[in-house]
Structure 1
Amino acid sequence: MTQLYEQLFRRKSFHRFTKPFKPLSTEQLDTVKQYFSLCEPLVQDIRTLLRIVPVGQTTCRQGEYALLLYSERKDGYLQNIGYLGEQLELHLAKVNIGACWYGMGRPKEREYEGLHFVCMLCIANQDEGCFRTKEAKLNRLDAKDIWEGEDAYHLAPVVRMAPSACNTQPWLVIEQDNTLSVHRVFRKRGIIPPFLVPYYQSIDIGIFLLFLELAMSHKQISFTRTLYWQADDLKQEQYSLR
């Protein structure tokens, strides 16, 4: 998974795809399915499934295909889908397939093989030059606004780039005594209906955790992970650095 680090700087959310784009081949789609089967979960023992359907079979009207992510409903399943789906998005960037998390999109089948639909990404082939460069401007909070503590390893400038629904960026890292605590915090909701804010921002936290772990692995920081799904202060995860 560490090979995805460079894609943190290259990925972008394709809210509009550059046309015309070359149709995705059967071989490309098969590779996407195979890659998802190899993705590392955040939470073990949660059954997930990826379906790929033409966007016309969903409420999405962007791109060529939709990647439908299904899951069992267990503690941490939303964060797990964010963690898995973002691995997939970063891999797609690596092979010049543009992608965008399409939170409000819906498929025809809300349940499939006993699993519940969680979220989707829309995808299409894009030219290499359509992706972000390290010099591109990014509409994100400053590193100091998402990190409390010294940030001894300079991780905040990297993890601040994580995408989120309506760019709400619902995360805060507290660094203390060689421990990183990740909290889900409310900043804004954009156009997300109030009752769906915890749903989508939990997926966002899974995306953020992947960014954080890739950044730590790149810095060769070893850590142990502890998950907290029921914490009163909405703490999501804690890393003890070694």
Structure 2
Amino acid sequence: MRGGDEMTQLYEQLFRRKSFHRFTKPFKPLTTEQLDTVKQYFSLCEPLVENIRTLLCIVPVGQTTCRQGEYALLLYSERRDGYLQNIGYLGEQLNLFLTKENIGACWYGMGKPKEREYEGLHFVCMLCIANQDEGCFRTKEAKLNRLDAKDIWEGEDAYHLAPVVRMAPSACNTQPWLVKEQDNTLSVHRVFRKRGIIPPSLVPYYQSIDIGIFLFFLEVAMEQAGLPYKRTLLLQEPVHTGPVLTATYLVNI
């Protein structure tokens, strides 16, 4: 589990973060020191899946198809079992760090860089970023377009985690997750609810990244609640359609 101070800071950012589909202008240019700090933080992020090589490349948004923000954070990875979930898990750690630093960010799923490969790794996804004033971020009182907690959680939610994890971002706000709680076990499933503008063939791709984001939200919420857990990942997906079991957590062990 993460250190107390670090975990508390991450937990607080769950409520502050927002997806900046439009950045408030004018914004102060990001400094070299800020960008170096972002790179350093990513190098220290905890992976979901060990031994998958990943890299972060920061480029001006003009070098991508994105037209929002100032810079794009390009996430590259080896293609191995769980690499999409891993990128979501890593990228959301970065997203919450950016929020703490008052750097606005948005997962820009359909964006493409000029370099589709970088040092032998494949481009997976990007975030666009720009400095934003502190008041531009979400407050706990702000309205949030999310499913009700009861719609993403089956079981009694004994530890009151659902109201927190329902805030997780997802591509086109599809919210492709369902947690089933039984005894002291949480089973996290990737489910299809809608696809928005995502091409049908790419739905599993983006929603696998989303599940990685969700797992990080869930773990931060559990750690804030002081709940020890043992995680088991299921990374080889079945060929059938329907709910895909992604991870189980034995809680309060």
- The alignment partner of 1:30 has SS state of helix
SS at structure 1 position matched to 2:16:
coil
Q: Which residue of 1 aligns with 2:247?
A: 237
2:103 pairs with 1:93: no
1:28 is displaced (CA, Å) by 0.2
**Matched residues in 1 for 2:236 and 2:195: separation?**
22
Amino acid paired to 2:131: N
SS at match of 2:178: strand
Question: 2:58 is matched with which residue?
Answer: 52
Partner of 1:8: 14
Secondary structure, in 3 states, of the residue corresponding to 1:197? helix
2:194 is equivalent to residue 188 of structure 1: yes
Identical residues among aligned pairs (%) = 85
The residue identity in structure 2 corresponding to 1:71 is S
For residues 9-24 of structure 1, the aligned pairs below 5 Å read 9-24=15-30
Alignment correspondent of 1:173: 179
> TM-score w.r.t. structure 1 length?
0.99
Structure 1: 4+ residue segments shifted above 6 A: none
Q: Tell me how far 1:229 sits from its aligned partner.
A: 1.7
Instruction: Give the structure 2 partner of residue 162 of structure 1.
Output: 168
Aligned to 1:72: 78
Structure 2, unaligned stretches of length 5 or more?
Answer: 1-5
Q: Which amino acid in 1 is paired with 2:246? A: Q
1:96-135 correspondence runs (5 A):
96-135=102-141
- Name stretches of at least 5 consecutive residues in structure 1 with no aligned partner: none
Cα separation, 1, equivalents of 2:184 and 2:96: 29
Q: Which moved more, 1:63-72 or 1:232-241?
A: 232-241
Structure 1 residue 230 displacement after superposition:
2.3
> Which of 58, 83, 88 is equivalent to 1:82?
88
Query: Are 1:61 and 2:61 counterparts?
Result: no
What SS class does the counterpart of residue 124 from structure 2 fall into? strand
CA distance in 2, matches of 1:138, 1:177: 30
The one-letter amino acid paired with 1:82 is: G
For residue 231 of structure 1, report the CA deviation from its aligned partner: 4.6
CA distance in 2: counterparts of 1:196 and 1:105, whole angstroms: 13
CA distance in 1, matches of 2:10, 2:41: 12
1:140: which partner in 2?
Answer: 146
How far apart, CA to CA, are the structure 2 residues paired with 1:98 and 1:176?
38
C-alpha RMSD of the superposition: 0.7
The aligned amino acid for 2:19 is S
How many angstroms does 1:177 deviate by?
1.8
1:28 maps to 2:23 = no
What residue identity is the alignment partner of 2:144? L
Summarize deviations over 1:39-87 as a string: whole Å, max 9, x none.
0000000000000000000000000000000000000000000000000
Question: What corresponds to 1:210 in structure 2?
Answer: 216
How far, CA to CA, are the matches of 1:41 and 1:115 in structure 2? 16
What TM-score, normalized by structure 2, do the two folds share?
Answer: 0.95
How far apart are the structure 1 equivalents of 2:73 and 2:37? 13
